[in-house]
């Protein structure tokens, strides 16, 4: 194929005709068949002075023999006519087009699967091998003796090539090989990565007992063995991928004085990557043998490569005077292999984790202090009236929840497995505690705030010594347990049925990935590390259950936000739930927007931690801390008569049965029942600040809390009769009827003020009701309300004025 070699190839020894005559019939026909492109056989013209193949010289020598011209010519015509139908089989070009193929069925042809073989002969000791012969095989133009070129190799370091390396149309009989990709490459969705060793395999057979193999036994500098190698030629740079691209690159670098310091897996000359040689020893007495070699190969930079396996061995004659070099190569079945760079795995940086650990630690310490303080204050009236045991439980659950926030980092399977249970269960229990407190407010206050305040409720049995607190204690525990059980079941199912693990979620081409907590890898689709649908359902069920509870309580707290409650908890609960739901919604939006394999998981991690810490801090700050502040300030706590739990007798709509056996201290008082229409007086119980037995102390005849009450005065209407005075004492709540009227006036004022400030009209009836109610309230405070700290003479003077 090289014009520089044409002249040398055309001048062969005259005895080559004898060699030609000794060829097998099929080989002779093939050689003669190629001659028709060089000669005009019918005219018997000689070959041109220059020809492109050695067969032209063969034909020329043959046809110019005088004694055989007329004898061979008819035979040649007949043979070429018969074989014209099989021209494509024996012609190495496609339809006679030069350069399309070089072999008959090698991997250089379309769908070719057979190996390609090259043969080279060494110089014999009789040939003059001087210093000029030490030229590179690819630089024969500079050699004064081009027939002898230096061709060193790992098997024979001082090998000198005589002539050229011959490309065989087909490998000799008994010689075969194939190269196979690593097993991992055959897995669906597998992507070869750079900087990773993979084991290619090369198998083959060599028979030395055939007439087509030159030499009789395997030789090398270190004994009988063969060399196996994998060569990965980069597409678009290396040209035809053959075993000699390595020598070509080495010659070019040496010619240009380029010194490369290569590591295994680096590109040689920028065109190809080759593995280290693997040597397979051979039995010197065996005439045929099979081999299988595993070749570790590594690529350091990404790219697309044409992968071939190569086998090299040397054979010698009986006297080892002439050695033959055989090079075999075959492409892997898949031909092209694409190596990708190691994916960029986005994770949580160390300093970010440390900041989160410090923040969560400080928050847990603060909440733990609040919880311990709450437990130490359980006997205080503030905590006794505020369900202090539930508040203490809320504080300790907040400690657990804030501590689990550090486990949102998807850095280990342990964190991924336990962050959901340790986060969702405490939150659900806190929401259940809030639900219990809302139920306490609703059941204790709403029956007393009917539109016309015509129903009174009294404690009908008073069988427990703590009518105000004991019932709510077990009710709160029941509600917390009932609302927490579903979340507990969901988390247990997720923990044992679909445990979460730390996996890498890749983008479509798997060039970038991020750490993610997932139940298990999915086997289909581009998001192969995302959980399956049913696993997503389990993982999200706990969150949606918590969200449902929070929204339901938010609506309930909105309805009850204006109800009077102990220590103003109704509005505080509404604010807590509203802020928590808003923070969770904002966090969900940010997490959804940034949920992509190419985005940093730090954003999602920090958002979840921030929302979690805000959730618990906001709850404890608004529901627990105010109670502790009141204890610290030593505020005097009054039991609001509107929140005393009463039992309404719904069986009788017209009158209220009085308590059959009301209890004063440890005495039972009996008396006749009275109709609702009677103008009688009722004094509500006040919780003694210095007693622990929750004993009920009824008001005296003057309406003040404390002291004893007669049997005839145990029930009063909501609005006291005109002949009774209302005494307001210091550190005690006023008469219940006065409180109801004040609440009614407050609601009417609030409604009118809201309409006015909003630009809405106020009805005549509302103005009239406001005037009447204000007038009546003024008369009550002028004529009937007496303050304990005022002088009776001063009050009489004010009344007369």
Residue 728 backbone phi and psi in degrees, to 5: -105, 115
Point out the least confidently predicted range of 298-302, 460-464, 601-605.
460-464
Retrieve residue 635's tokens: 């505020």
* Alpha-carbon torsion angle 267, 272, 278, 283, nearest 10: -160
Residue 517: its H or E element: strand 512-518
Three-state SS for 313?
A: strand
Q: How confident is the model at residue 87 (pLDDT cuts 50, 70, 90)?
A: very low
pLDDT value at residue 441:
72
- Separation of CA 137 from chain center: 55
Give the β-pairing of 160-167 and 116-122: antiparallel
Q: Are 291 and 206 a contacting pair, CB within 8 Å?
A: yes
In angstroms, the Cα distances linking 218 to 208, 315, 647 are: 9, 5, 108
Q: What is the CA radius of gyration of the chain?
A: 51
Residue 691 CB neighbours (<10 A): 10
Max mean pLDDT among 36-50, 290-304, 531-545, 725-739 falls in: 290-304
Q: Region 454-477: what's the mean pLDDT?
A: 49
Three-state SS for 303?
A: strand
pLDDT value at residue 46:
42
Point out the least confidently predicted range of 140-144, 547-551, 624-628, 682-686.
682-686
Q: Which of 150, 788, 739 is nearest to 456 (CA)?
A: 739
In angstroms, the Cα distances linking 299 to 238, 263, 268, 272, 302 are: 16, 10, 11, 10, 7
- What residues contact 427, with CB distance under 8 A and at least 6 apart? 401, 546, 615
Three-state SS for 513?
A: strand
Q: Are 698 and 664 a contacting pair, CB within 8 Å?
A: yes
Q: Is 800 exposed, middle or buried (0-12, 13-18, 19+ CB in 10 A)?
A: exposed
Q: Are 728 and 739 a contacting pair, CB within 8 Å?
A: no
Residue pLDDT, tens place only, 216-225: 788 888 889 9
- What residues contact 559, with CB distance under 8 A and at least 6 apart? none
Retrieve residue 351's tokens: 């300093």
Dmax over CA atoms of the chain, in Å, equals 167
Q: Are 514 and 345 a contacting pair, CB within 8 Å?
A: yes
Measure the CA–CA gap between 238 and 269, rounded to whole angstroms: 10
Retrieve residue 591's tokens: 């997490």
């077990």: which residue's tokens?
Answer: 474
In this predicted model, which residue has the larger pLDDT, 701 or 433? 433
């492409």: which residue's tokens?
Answer: 331
pLDDT value at residue 472:
58
Q: How confident is the model at residue 226 (pLDDT cuts 50, 70, 90)?
A: very high
* Alpha-carbon torsion angle 398, 399, 405, 411, nearest 10: -150
Alpha helices in 377-387 (DSSP H): 381-385
Q: Are 753 and 724 a contacting pair, CB within 8 Å?
A: no
pLDDT value at residue 535:
57
Give the β-pairing of 288-297 and 198-207: antiparallel
CA triplet 554, 556, 559: central angle to 5 degrees? 110
DSSP 8-state code for residue 334: E
Q: Region 352-364: what's the mean pLDDT?
A: 95
Q: How confident is the model at residue 796 (pLDDT cuts 50, 70, 90)?
A: low
Measure the CA–CA gap between 203 and 115, rounded to whole angstroms: 12
pLDDT value at residue 614:
95
Measure the CA–CA gap between 107 and 399, rounded to whole angstroms: 69
- 108 has a pLDDT exceeding 80: yes
Tally DSSP H helices, then E strands, for the chain: 19, 21
């080279």: which residue's tokens?
Answer: 120
Residue 353: its H or E element: helix 350-376
Point out the least confidently predicted range of 245-249, 571-575, 648-652, 724-728.
648-652
Retrieve residue 764's tokens: 């005549």
For 117-178, the DSSP string reads EEEEEEPPTTS---GGG-SBTT-GGG-SSTTEEE---SS-TT-EEEEEEEEPSSPPTTEEEE
- 39 has a pLDDT exceeding 50: no
Strand partners, 303: 339
Q: Region 609-631: what's the mean pLDDT?
A: 92
Q: How confident is the model at residue 45 (pLDDT cuts 50, 70, 90)?
A: very low
So where are the chain's domains?
Answer: 1-91, 102-339, 346-484+544-592+602-625, 649-800
Residue 792: its H or E element: helix 792-800
Residue 204 CB neighbours (<10 A): 22
Residue pLDDT, tens place only, 534-588: 556 676 788 889 989 999 988 888 887 766 555 567 788 889 999 999 999 999 9
CA triplet 428, 483, 391: central angle to 5 degrees? 60
In this predicted model, which residue has the larger pLDDT, 128 or 50? 128
What's the whole-number average pLDDT of the chain? 73
- Separation of CA 548 from chain center: 26
């958002």: which residue's tokens?
Answer: 607
- 700 has a pLDDT exceeding 50: no
For 517-547, the DSSP string reads EESS--SSSS-TTSPPHHHHHHHHHHHHHHH
Measure the CA–CA gap between 779 and 801, rounded to whole angstroms: 13
- 54 has a pLDDT exceeding 50: no
Three-state SS for 593?
A: helix
Strand partners, 309: 230, 330
* Alpha-carbon torsion angle 606, 611, 617, 623, nearest 10: 180
For 245-278, the DSSP string reads HHHHHHHHHHHTT------TTS-BTTTEEEPPPE
pLDDT value at residue 793:
57
């Amino acid at each position: 194929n090289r014009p520089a070699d044409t002249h040398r190839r055309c001048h062969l020894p005259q005895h080559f005709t004898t060699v030609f005559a000794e060829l097998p019939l099929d080989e002779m026909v093939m050689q003669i068949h190629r001659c028709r492109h060089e000669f005009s056989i019918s005219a018997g013209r000689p070959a041109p002075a220059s020809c492109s193949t050695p067969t032209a010289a063969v034909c020329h020598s043959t046809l110019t023999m005088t004694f055989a011209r007329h004898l061979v010519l008819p035979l040649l015509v007949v043979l070429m006519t018969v074989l014209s139908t099989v021209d494509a089989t024996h012609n190495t070009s496609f339809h006679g087009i030069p350069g399309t193929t070089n072999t008959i069925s090698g991997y250089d042809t379309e769908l070719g699967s057979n190996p390609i073989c090259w043969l080279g002969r060494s110089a014999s000791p009789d040939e003059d091998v001087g210093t000029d012969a030490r030229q590179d095989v690819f630089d024969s133009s500079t050699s004064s003796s081009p027939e002898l070129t230096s061709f060193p190799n790992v098997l024979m370091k001082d090998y000198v090539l005589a002539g050229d390396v011959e490309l065989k149309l087909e490998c000799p009989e008994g010689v075969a090989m194939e190269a196979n990709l690593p097993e991992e490459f055959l897995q669906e969705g597998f992507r070869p990565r750079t900087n990773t060793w993979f084991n290619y395999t090369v198998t083959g057979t060599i028979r030395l007992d055939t007439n087509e193999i030159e030499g009789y036994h395997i030789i090398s500098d270190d004994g009988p063995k063969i060399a196996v190698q994998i060569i990965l030629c980069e597409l678009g740079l290396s040209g035809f991928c053959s075993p000699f691209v390595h020598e070509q690159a080495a010659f070019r670098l040496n010619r240009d004085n380029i010194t490369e310091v290569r590591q295994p897996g680096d590109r040689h000359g920028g065109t190809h990557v080759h593995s280290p040689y693997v040597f397979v020893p051979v039995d010197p007495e065996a005439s045929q043998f099979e081999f299988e070699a595993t070749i570790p190969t590594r690529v350091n930079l990404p790219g697309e490569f044409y992968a071939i396996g190569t086998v090299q061995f040397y054979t010698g004659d009986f006297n080892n005077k002439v050695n033959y070099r055989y090079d075999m190569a075959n492409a892997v079945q898949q031909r092209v292999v694409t190596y990708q760079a190691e994916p960029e795995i986005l994770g949580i940086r160390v300093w970010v984790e440390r900041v989160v650990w410090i923040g969560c630690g400080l928050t847990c310490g603060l909440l733990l202090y609040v919880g311990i303080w709450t437990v130490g204050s359980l006997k205080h009236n503030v905590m006794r009236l505020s369900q202090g045991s539930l508040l203490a439980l809320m504080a300790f659950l907040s400690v657990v929840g804030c501590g689990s926030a550090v486990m949102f980092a998807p850095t280990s399977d342990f964190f991924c497995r336990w962050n959901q249970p340790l986060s969702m269960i405490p939150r659900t229990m806190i929401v259940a505690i809030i639900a219990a407190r809302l139920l306490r407010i609703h059941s204790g206050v709403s029956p007393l705030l009917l539109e016309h305040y015509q129903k009174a409720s009294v404690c009908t049995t008073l069988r427990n010594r703590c009518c105000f607190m004991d019932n709510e204690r077990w009710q709160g525990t029941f509600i917390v347990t009932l609302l927490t059980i579903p979340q507990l079941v969901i988390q247990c199912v997720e923990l044992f049925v679909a445990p979460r693990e730390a996996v890498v979620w890749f983008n479509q081409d798997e060039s970038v990935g991020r750490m993610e907590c997932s139940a298990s890898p999915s086997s289909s689709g581009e998001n192969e590390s995302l959980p399956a649908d049913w696993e997503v359902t389990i993982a999200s069920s706990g969150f949606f259950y918590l969200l449902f509870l929070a929204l339901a309580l938010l609506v309930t707290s909105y309805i009850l936000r204006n109800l009077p409650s102990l220590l103003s908890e109704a509005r505080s609960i509404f604010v807590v739930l509203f802020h928590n739901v808003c923070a969770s919604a904002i966090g969900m939006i940010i997490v959804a927007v940034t949920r992509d394999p190419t985005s940093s998981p730090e954003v999602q991690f920090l958002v979840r931690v921030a929302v979690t810490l805000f959730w618990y801090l906001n709850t404890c700050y608004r529901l627990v801390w105010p109670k502790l502040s009141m204890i610290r300030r030593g505020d005097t706590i009054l039991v609001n008569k509107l929140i005393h739990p009463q039992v309404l007798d719904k069986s009788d709509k017209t009158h209220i049965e009085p308590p059959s056996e009301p209890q004063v201290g440890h005495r039972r008082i009996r008396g006749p029942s009275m109709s609702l229409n009677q103008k009688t007086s009722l004094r509500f119980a006040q919780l003694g600040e210095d007693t622990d037995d929750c004993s009920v102390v009824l008001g005296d005849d003057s309406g003040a809390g404390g002291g004893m009450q007669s049997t005839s005065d145990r029930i009063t209407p909501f609005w006291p009769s005109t002949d009774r005075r209302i005494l307001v004492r210091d550190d005690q709540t006023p008469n219940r009827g006065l409180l109801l009227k004040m609440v009614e006036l407050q609601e009417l004022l609030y409604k009118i003020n809201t309409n006015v400030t909003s630009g809405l009209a106020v009805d005549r009836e509302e103005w009239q009701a406001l005037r009447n109610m204000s007038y009546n309230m003024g008369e009550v405070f002028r004529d009937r309300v007496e303050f304990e700290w005022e002088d009776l003479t001063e009050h009489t003077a004010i009344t007369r004025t």
